[in-house]
Chain A
Amino acid sequence: MATGRGKSGSKQPILVAVDFSPDSLAALKWAIQQADLLAASIIVLHAIHDPADSPGFYSRPGQSDLAFHGDVAREMMADFLKQVARLEAVRSGRVEISERLIDGLPAGRITELARTEAAQMIVVGNRGRSRLSSLLLGSVAEQVIREAEIPVVVVKAERSPAEPEPAKPAQSGDTPEQGT
């Protein structure tokens, strides 16, 4: 499914892929700073996909009935975006954020959406929820770097709980067309 709000800016958007982890939040905050500098809009993507951690990524405590994963993801996204709503760049409307929820495997969906939205850059958190998947395929970030045709920035959250993330790019990938 796909939901959106707001329009893309005149420049190519920055695509931020999130799994609502602290690293994802750091990635989004870093992307907002960049978007502010570049006068670009941001697309926040969450690929609805359960990474097999029991009891299930979209299970909620006390939930005794089957819930639509899409609905749970939408609530998670809303809570997640609240955490950046007060940032000056967002509050003032300088950086426009739209959201997308799409069923599918994260790495593939990220690179696919980057192509269809003609994004200028992909920003992802360093370590997400699906650490076990790296056994077979590598982390989502690694897969995105491998498959993307545009620059990819991987952001780490600072591990100290006191200060919010002054995020820093950890790696980047280039394309012949678009250098970083």
Chain B
Amino acid sequence: MDAPLDHTALVIGLFGGLALFLFGMDIMTDALKRAAGAYLKDILARLTRNRFTAVAAGAFITGIVNSSSVTTVILVGFITAGVMSMSQSVGVIMGANIGSTVTAQLLAFNISSVALPAVALGFLVSFVSPRETIAQYGRMLLGFGLVFYGMGVMSDAMQPLRSYQPFLDMLARLDSALLGVLAGALFTAVIQSSAATTGIVIVMAGQGLLDLETGIAIALGANIGTCMTAGLAVIGKPREAVRAAAVHLLFNIAGVVIWIGLIGVLADLVRAISPNAAHLQGAARVAAEAPRQLANAHTVFNIANTLIMVGFTTQIARFVEWLIPDRPIRLEEAATPKFLDRLLLGTPSIALQQVRFEIERMGVQVVAMLSDALDAASATSIQQMDRLAERDKSVDALHRAIVGYLAELSASSLREEDGRDVLRLLEAVNLLEFIGDRIAINIRTTTQKRLRDGVVHDPDYLAKLGRIHGNIVTALSDAIRSVSASDPDLAREVVARKTGVNRLRHAIERDSAAMLRGKKADLTAYMRAIELLEILDGIFRSARAIATTQLDQDGDEETPAT
């Protein structure tokens, strides 16, 4: 007769172990994203030049951060931002599946004995290291240890199940590839981690509770379930981003369709190529062989799927475009942030890049306001100026959204560089908003006064003011680009414009002084002319200050940006 099963101990062990596993994965991925996030953007930018390097980029990034979902969420962010196309992302998505095999291979090592030392050492490093990057590596080690400790807890909890007949009967009924795939997909979609599913399958196979074929079916299903995360990330995003998530799902479904009838062949193949523990017998042999066999099966089908389909990236892209057509043309809401994706807050370097995109978008609106400001300020009625001032509302809304996003970002632990970037971008966006206010409030007020006083600006003055205005518009535009592209050279060019603009200003001041002389002396006209000039000069000073936020990056010393 079977020994009675302690259900409480089983449930506590399973869920406690799973919780430790997922918590460990979370810590590890988060630490890696924070430590290596700055390179992810560069890797993607450089390696999406052709489909094969794109696959390599996807594999590398996913292998590093241990999560294909992180890779696809980053891709969705870039596609939404309009810096990457869905077509370019197809190869990266395929590569992400290959990268996920690294995790499965790691999990197959029976190293639960080093789990607690890793937790202890990782904690120590993260606790005592004065450098944020080193501390993040410590947290990575801590997470790594927790993952294996969680697996050990689950494994111990499941041990009694090996001789518990009702459970073995239930597993026997699950002995169908399709059911295994469905179970894997569903479980992964719920817990949003294919690594956890693979980890549990490895634990169960190690306990002899699952045969290799069923384990492979569940791991195949996990590939489908993992698409859930990107699927949730694209809700409300542009069609191109939705298509990227669809590519991920279709690619993984196609992979399952290819392999579901060949699971037996795959199992035989991995039995042949995986290390053999012939010196062991029974459960001990299964425990020694099954984890690596499963990890190898996971690696083989993911690599094979990519090899089979990498030649069809174009066709896959076209098919998905046919499947998911465009929405009707819609003018985007100027006041609604487009790039500030909360899902990317966990990858600060990428989130900061999104902020730069949004600042550029806000900057385009401010530059357009400034370009139109001179005409509005010299018009014969206030209506044009009123319409211009109205546009400041969307600038204010974007400012609020960007500041809020930066605040959320700075609430998490950041690398020193990322922390400095937050301050720089905060300063830049505040200055930009200030310029919007100068246009909407100060220029509007002086225009109102001019119209009240019946002053019409002298054409010669307006022509000269037009020159300084053109210079300031260019300076502001360049200053914004220096922020969005983190370009200190361009920032220096903006700062160097000071002499030229000052010369123009002094020339206008000299000429305007003529208004005060002679019989036609007109103090009011002079005051209005100088007032407008001073406001424009103030805007130029703010533009220079925006550019200056990018200059500290060059220096070695850590001068505060504000």
Interface residues of chain A, those whose CB is within 8 Å of chain B, are: 1-2, 48-59, 63-70, 102-105, 108-109, 112-113, 116, 132-133, 135-137
Contact = CB atoms under 8 A, between A and B. Distances in A.
Q: Closest 4 CB pairs between A and B?
A: A50-B85, A52-B87, A55-B49, A66-B83
Contact of A103 (B83, B240, B485): B240
Contact of B325 (A49, A51, A64, A108): A108
A66 B78 contact: yes
Q: Chain B: interface secondary structure?
A: helix
Contact of A136 (B78, B319, B326, B329): B319
A67 B90 CA distance: 18
Interface of B: 41-42, 44-46, 48-51, 78, 81-88, 90, 238-240, 313-315, 317-319, 321-322, 325-326, 328-329, 331-332, 353, 357, 360, 485
Nearest to A116: B329
A56 B88 contact: yes
B325 A56 contact: no
Contact of B322 (A65, A70, A137): A137
Contacts of B44: 66
A109 B326 contact: yes
B314 A105 contact: no
Contact of B49 (A2, A59, A105, A116): A59
B426 to A, nearest CB: 22
Nearest to B321: A105
A66 B357 CA distance: 11
B45 A50 contact: no
B81 to A, nearest CB: 8
A102 B85 contact: no
Contacts of A53: 314
Nearest to A134: B318
A111 to B, nearest CB: 11
Contacts of A66: 41, 44-45, 78, 81, 83-84, 353
A66 to B, nearest CB: 4
Contacts of A57: 85
B485 A2 contact: no
A108 B485 contact: no
A136 B86 contact: no
Contact of B85 (A2, A63, A69, A113): A69
A51 B88 CA distance: 9
A58 to B, nearest CB: 7
Contacts of A136: 315, 318-319, 322
A2 B331 contact: yes
B82 A105 contact: no
Nearest to B44: A66
* Interface-central residue, B44, B87, B319, B322, by most chain A CB under 10 Å: B87
Nearest to B332: A1
Nearest to B487: A65
B322 A51 contact: no
Nearest to A1: B332
Given A56-B85, A66-B353, 4 more contacts: A52-B87, A56-B49, A105-B326, A108-B325
B45 to A, nearest CB: 5
A70 B82 contact: yes
A135 B318 contact: yes
Given A1-B332, A54-B51, A66-B41, A105 B319 contact: no
A93 to B, nearest CB: 21
Nearest to A113: B329
A147 to B, nearest CB: 12
A2 B318 contact: no
B328 A103 contact: no
Most buried by A among B44, B45, B319: B45
B332 to A, nearest CB: 7
Contacts of A63: 45
A101 B42 CA distance: 27
B313 A52 contact: yes
B329 A67 contact: no
A102 B329 contact: yes
A68 B329 contact: no
A10 B78 CA distance: 41
Contacts of B357: 68
Nearest to B484: A68
24 contacts: A1-B332, A49-B85, A52-B85, A52-B87, A52-B88, A52-B90, A55-B50, A57-B85, A63-B45, A64-B45, A64-B46, A66-B41, A66-B78, A66-B84, A68-B81, A68-B360, A105-B321, A109-B326, A112-B328, A116-B329, A132-B315, A133-B314, A135-B315, A136-B322
Contacts of B360: 68
Contact of A58 (B50, B81, B85, B317): B85
Contact of A112 (B50, B315, B329, B331): B329
B82 A103 contact: yes
Contacts of A113: 329
